[in-house]
Structure 1
């Protein structure tokens, strides 16, 4: 069209209303995005968004604090982008959506990094004053916090970056200490001795959230506990005394800590005799063992017994009164104590022997069954105290006679010599039945990647099952379960997951034997062991922390400055443990959502559950059901009798294109910094928003390429609208009721999309938003409406009602599409908006979703145009074949005949310029099936197309082929419509027309 000239030599391209815009086809996002970021900073976009949203209902996405210890990775990018998309969407929906970013700064990962630096320099951490060491940890966290902040900004995330919350800030440390002291004051905090997961490498207790399960090869043994007495003291059944109860364990090193054997009253047991076995066997002929009937075959197979027989059944009530000898009793007199049998619900006959070796210092269930039987054990004269058989270094203590010093794990986390020594002792004692190895899932520290052990240590716990007066007599577990049910979980299955975790978890161990963290700010009376509960002391601690930070606790050896004149420091021990970092992050709501002085923009939240209109959302990866969601729930329920959130949304993890976990060794890591450098942050944002984030996401070069192509199509739609709207004068706006049907159909689609996109954003269904917009912009607009209306928009006279109506429809479309896209393509939508509305203070992110008149919705019209487009598809398909065969060059050279057998489809074309819709110069519609060789599409029954060439001359301006060309003598080489447009153009541009 633009390169055609008439014989007279006039260039008609200047008379066309061709798109004109500075919005480039090539995005150049890696260069353009930083410019937009600079503009946002210079114009204080965040502040202007806050001002514009003042007074609206609040939507607060409370940031789950990332850890300040390295560059962000693709999973972090997913998390932060998804948060930003949701926050921007909620702002566009009309909320005051204030996002305050935050960071976790305490804890072992940072402390471990500083220790690594010390070791590299030959320094000893224990020789450095604790405050100096903490100062180095703080500097390390500050550095990475600054690095991550800039990386998050580069993703296009808008928030209060100048005033984030930081767990190591002085006010935050004061608030965390205050929360801990609330637990102490209400009686929920206690010091106890329980088996906890312990990292030998890191020398500290670990929470479940700090542990990951990896394959591990363990030594396994079957060991015999000789029966020495029956139910009536030493007058037990003759057929059991002298027999042995057999246990199976994957932790031979725990045998020195054994104090009982557990059985189940639901399991069938039998007394068995070995009939035949090889000479070298530990299990020799004549030996009698008690095992579960279901497992007898497996046990004797492991023991390489060639033949065995069942002697008698053994009833659970008989087992209840048996007294056993420790399997090492014959090897060392230190183990010559009674080993009782205890009924345990955790015992099954699914694996092992049907009996469970019970070392209460090395397992949760072992501890619970031991403590539950404490009174009965004391009545039998059995010592209930739990021995400390393993120390912090993973070495067996003096409570393991004959084995002291043997290591369970080395300092580097490798297998020590304890198992080998225990197995040798059992062999010497004659109580080893069999041994093997087992590859199984075993807990590892997620930091050191080394196995952990369960060991009994004194720790600080928060009780989950103690009725609490401030919780209206409920237990913390009961409150948490109640609040889970009152919270909205996205996706819904998250509720079941965290419910099971809370229902079954043990008391919360909150102490860590480290230096970099908020200390457990309590004093314990030396005489009574009671925790000091004094609000005056608590107030002094909070005030000191707010002014000096938590270092204040470590600069006063006795704590006299906090105890003040009210208490004698000589009477109290000052606790030196620090808090589990999950307690820190679980307390963040207390110093962000509930601190109007530090974060005034978040103050005064009135949640919907409390009769208000505000919403608090937590959003993290699905692993945080046992992490941040979990600790935040327990912390808030324990201090406020309610959950800190109203909505919890979870996303999956990022995998490579094959669905494998990313690792440097595999070479499949995708760094967000590399994607931004090569393609731009908006490509990452599109990938995040378009993916099903409720499941694991995949990313790789080809996936990025695919999203880059999708982005290109969306951008081109925006660019075409911008170019076309360069010719739009608001005074030429056409009322909807005066528009042609095609424009009213587009308005209908806008009204339809308005409801769908609002609902998708409201429910955080970003994938649906992208799918709706992509389908509309590429299907309804680019390949249909824009294509059809190019002729009228480019060639009609400026005064043409059809052209003006089309421009009005494009303007309404551009405004909505750009605002709808803005939460996802934050940079591109801004660039497009400013190209259309180049105000110095303008921003698409200051807009809310425009109201779309309900009158635009016309379902009957939409059904009619759906039928028209079905017929058009057949015509388009036929012309594609003609082009491929080079029988036509462009569709305007064609004048096909369309046969329509379906009366409903034929009626839909009544009153429609179907040639214009199909972009042909002419078209003829006839009733009937059409000839056999006509073109058809299987999915559109009853429509057939016979291609034909258009008759007449080609218009030099619009390229239409028609006999009408030349009917206006003043413009002999164009159609009458183009002659009218030229006459009007020449009248408005007389000087150019004269040339």
Structure 2
């Protein structure tokens, strides 16, 4: 925006009119220097206790509470942390300025494996294994570790400009929090929803603990695959007759032949986990599938070794998979003796392929119908080890009941127990040393035993997606082990699952797709596994009798909770059992459970001790806001915990955002070298740039960040800052005495007030529905396109050159003051540092802050849609004129728009009428203008993409140049005393001179 400088054309004999102009004056610098300035603003806010003043100013307002999802206290913050916390800050600050009491209490998740894993490493670096460290010492070290990282992360979060109760955050390891978590668990005991069951769970032998689905990530993994023969031991007595009847055979001998051949055959299974064979107890088949009983005719030649099958072997496999089995088994030729419909396999049993090994495996292996069996891979038969897979477990208990015995073949270290005869001590995975997480000797031992027993058909290798612990990065296994579960119940049974599903229906989701996602997860999930075999965390603080049933005694429970409240979770481990049990129960009859609670139960209980535990908050929360992965994590654990104890969700609405990727859409990785560190961005550009990137991103999808993307945020910031700087400078000295009532203003000012009213509605609605991108874009476009490129560009002449008491100038400054107050408060939640700087530059105060303001109420009378429609037409014409003058400047036919007096041909009567009563030259920023409805010459300028009803013929302005305002007018030189300025400037100069001499 060019500022007139009357001294440029001054001659040695002429007067310098610069002292008669009203040029913008401000100390608000053009260069922000955010990296250095922002810490100073943080100090100022701390010194004035801004947080406390925000709470005091909001007393009595309706509360709006965003409950913070706790990050783990175990390392420096990454870009995902920064984005998440800034997004939350946008919500909290905007709600506060919308007139709510929006208190934000940050929190930390301080228990669990992430921290315990790091502390184990620290002890290992000192030469001490975890087993050599007492539980008390280890738990104490975990607490110290977590406290350290809470302090570090707190400082990093505050650097982003996040406002909240940083002096009093919540942590899951605070004694009152640990007591509340124990109390929440005991509510499930009281409702008979907590039970100890023996089920296969995902288990990390490396970490020696059960893992939840949320703690799992999937990576490619190479597995040893085997095809195993299970010799048929029995078929149903009716099978021969049923076979004959099925095929409508007249010869009963055919049925007998089938029966004889089937008794000599083997059912073939395929598995990617050879180590689970000792745990096999059944084989599942597809009752609607088609199988074949094949007899081997010949094996492939020139193998160089003796194959594991021979001519005459009879094998039963799926027809659809027969060729792949034949190829894997190195069979050259075989023939199908009989077609075997799946529903004829009922009642068939087999011998275990390891029968006789070390005196074990003497039981029979039944065939069970299973809907999960397909003919997409393998053999059409599924090896079923109920202790090593969820589907296996379901098939087993469905057939034989919940009380059916399930072997514990593998211990917590992934080593075979005595329930796997012949393999005791062999390990599934290496759990220590350089090969930690690699395949152990279990597969090798099992395969050798199968070969020895003549029941291995083939072996191979397969690379496939396999579950790994997201902390140790080691593969996990499914392992049957006693664990504690919270019972959900089936859909439609009226249990906890149904309560949760109803709560999901009652919750608002942003984006709306989140509802279906979490609903599907809750519908399909198993009972909630809440126990872990670790040291650091809140214990499952219950006693069980000899039957494994939890003791539910209100007095005992009260003593447990009180002890934890006084001394923390350590009290459970340190206090003798009898002190808790009192006089009514004997410690000899009860076992103290020492498993640790799943950290998802910890964080799922935060609503109980944070929202309900503080008077300045409320329950339920208005909003939970986290990444989309938390549909499986915190959103769900909080939902289930609250529905189990309170019958509804702890939140009214849920907002989810995507993941932060690099500028090419890749996941950030140190190995790739594409990690963008938020600390580096704040050090180089400032946190306001990070906040602009957050606000301008579409959080509903994964978002990207990189040098060019940050560069775009920097460019947008510069444009905005320049506009603010101009407004502050142009409002220098403005006071209420200068204000003008809108009814007395020129039409242009009333139009800008109309635009403010429209934008006020849009900004408020945008913040209400969390459309931060829309708010940012609308405000930036208003500042750049409607203020800098339009309104301020037009009004700079009046601001600089008119008398201070001129109605037009007063109107312009009044409108600019209204614009400034709204634009700065609207954007205060985004650019927290810059808007504070701008606000105090305009409204100096020792203890003031833009963040103590609310969005200004905008009079509804300002909105005038008829006027808005009219000025839309005016701006259509102006764009064409501006385009024509840009061509003239580019071709160097004029130097500035004031050298022109264009003739504007307007064929549209409504467009022409819109200019009635307006100074077109003023709007075009030219020295003159002629508007006509006469047809335009062929060579007239028309703007492509705009209305063709407007055509412009550029004409040079006639007259002399006013040395004060630079307009070229015929009147310049007509006044003898002021021969070098126009009449408007003569009046202004004489007024200025009179004011000086007064």
Is 1:314 aligned with 2:340? yes
1:957 aligns with one of 939, 957, 964: 964
How do 1:488-503 and structure 2 match up within 5 A? 488-503=508-523
Question: 1:355-398 CA deviation, whole Å, 9 max, x = no partner?
Answer: 211000000111111111115x99xxxxx411111111112222
Deviation at 1:435, TM superposition (A): 2.2
Is 1:507 aligned with 2:527? yes
Secondary structure of residue in 2 paired with 1:247? strand
Deviation at 1:911, TM superposition (A): 2.3
Is 1:4 aligned with 2:4? no
Q: Distance in 1 between matches of 2:714 and 2:935?
A: 43
Number of the residue aligned with 1:587? 605
Number of the residue aligned with 1:253? 275
How do 1:432-511 and structure 2 match up within 5 A? 432-465=456-489, 474-511=494-531
Single out whichever of 162-171 and 268-277 deviates more from structure 2.
268-277
Single out whichever of 202-211 and 282-291 deviates more from structure 2.
282-291
Number of the residue aligned with 2:96? 91
Q: Distance in 2 between matches of 1:543 and 1:482?
A: 34
Q: Distance in 2 between matches of 1:916 and 1:309?
A: 97
Single out whichever of 285-294 and 54-63 deviates more from structure 2.
285-294
Number of the residue aligned with 1:672? 678
Q: Distance in 1 between matches of 2:317 and 2:20?
A: 98
1:421 aligns with one of 445, 453, 465: 445
Q: Distance in 1 between matches of 2:520 and 2:468?
A: 22
Q: Distance in 2 between matches of 1:77 and 1:520?
A: 34
How do 1:863-942 and structure 2 match up within 5 A? 863-940=869-946, 941-942=948-949
How do 1:337-736 and structure 2 match up within 5 A? 337-375=363-401, 384-411=404-431, 412-465=436-489, 474-526=494-546, 528-556=547-575, 558-595=576-613, 599-603=614-618, 605=619, 616-736=622-742
Deviation at 1:352, TM superposition (A): 2.0
Deviation at 1:929, TM superposition (A): 4.9
Number of the residue aligned with 2:362? 336
Question: 1:66-121 CA deviation, whole Å, 9 max, x = no partner?
Answer: 11111111110000000000111111111111100000001111111111111111
Secondary structure of residue in 2 paired with 1:191? strand
Number of the residue aligned with 2:243? none
Q: Distance in 2 between matches of 1:967 and 1:356?
A: 105
Question: 1:492-528 CA deviation, whole Å, 9 max, x = no partner?
Answer: 11111111111111111111111110111001123x3
Number of the residue aligned with 2:149? 144
Q: Distance in 1 between matches of 2:532 and 2:266?
A: 41
Structure 1's unaligned 5+ residue stretches are 379-383, 608-614
Secondary structure of residue in 2 paired with 1:458? strand
Q: Is the 8 A contact 2:196 2:548 kept in 1?
A: no
Question: 1:774-819 CA deviation, whole Å, 9 max, x = no partner?
Answer: 1111111111111111111111111111111111111111111111
Deviation at 1:331, TM superposition (A): 5.5
Secondary structure of residue in 2 paired with 1:789? helix
Q: Distance in 2 between matches of 1:473 and 1:884?
A: 77
Single out whichever of 354-363 and 401-410 deviates more from structure 2.
401-410
1:777 aligns with one of 769, 783, 790: 783
Deviation at 1:830, TM superposition (A): 1.2
Q: Relative to 1, partners in 2 of residues 1:910 and 1:277: Cα closer, same or farther, differing over 3 Å?
A: farther
Q: Distance in 2 between matches of 1:786 and 1:301?
A: 80
Q: Relative to 1, partners in 2 of residues 1:416 and 1:12: Cα closer, same or farther, differing over 3 Å?
A: same
Q: Distance in 1 between matches of 2:875 and 2:884?
A: 14
Q: Is the 8 A contact 2:232 2:348 kept in 1?
A: yes
How do 1:55-70 and structure 2 match up within 5 A? 55-70=60-75
Single out whichever of 331-340 and 206-215 deviates more from structure 2.
331-340
Q: Distance in 2 between matches of 1:333 and 1:21?
A: 94
Deviation at 1:276, TM superposition (A): 4.1
Secondary structure of residue in 2 paired with 1:237? helix
Number of the residue aligned with 2:823? 817
Q: Distance in 1 between matches of 2:298 and 2:777?
A: 71
Q: Is the 8 A contact 2:293 2:340 kept in 1?
A: yes
Number of the residue aligned with 1:611? none
Q: Distance in 2 between matches of 1:50 and 1:334?
A: 71
Q: Distance in 2 between matches of 1:222 and 1:109?
A: 39
Secondary structure of residue in 2 paired with 1:202? coil
Q: Is the 8 A contact 1:4 1:12 kept in 2?
A: no
Secondary structure of residue in 2 paired with 1:936? coil
Secondary structure of residue in 1 paired with 2:794? helix
Deviation at 1:307, TM superposition (A): 3.6
Structure 2's unaligned 5+ residue stretches are 241-257
Question: 1:553-599 CA deviation, whole Å, 9 max, x = no partner?
Answer: 1212x42221122221122111111111111101000001111xxx2
Deviation at 1:283, TM superposition (A): 4.2
The aligned length equals: 967
Deviation at 1:336, TM superposition (A): 2.5
Q: Distance in 2 between matches of 1:473 and 1:350?
A: 34
Root-mean-square deviation (Å): 1.9
Q: Distance in 1 between matches of 2:893 and 2:838?
A: 40
Secondary structure of residue in 1 paired with 2:523? helix
Number of the residue aligned with 1:808? 814
Number of the residue aligned with 2:220? 215
Single out whichever of 48-57 and 920-929 deviates more from structure 2.
920-929
Number of the residue aligned with 2:836? 830
Q: Is the 8 A contact 2:195 2:549 kept in 1?
A: no
Is 1:948 aligned with 2:962? no
Secondary structure of residue in 1 paired with 2:360? helix
Secondary structure of residue in 2 paired with 1:198? strand
Deviation at 1:770, TM superposition (A): 0.7
Is 1:972 aligned with 2:983? no
Number of the residue aligned with 1:169? 174
Deviation at 1:333, TM superposition (A): 4.4
Question: 1:626-684 CA deviation, whole Å, 9 max, x = no partner?
Answer: 11111111111111111111111111111111111111222211111110011000000
- TM-score w.r.t. the length of structure 1 is 0.95
Number of the residue aligned with 1:154? 159
Single out whichever of 263-272 and 149-158 deviates more from structure 2.
263-272
Deviation at 1:10, TM superposition (A): 2.5
1:108 aligns with one of 107, 113, 127: 113
Q: Distance in 1 between matches of 2:327 and 2:358?
A: 30
Q: Relative to 1, partners in 2 of residues 1:301 and 1:934: Cα closer, same or farther, differing over 3 Å?
A: farther
Secondary structure of residue in 1 paired with 2:426? coil
Deviation at 1:183, TM superposition (A): 1.0
Q: Distance in 1 between matches of 2:313 and 2:790?
A: 87
Is 1:231 aligned with 2:228? no
Deviation at 1:906, TM superposition (A): 2.3
Q: Distance in 1 between matches of 2:268 and 2:89?
A: 59
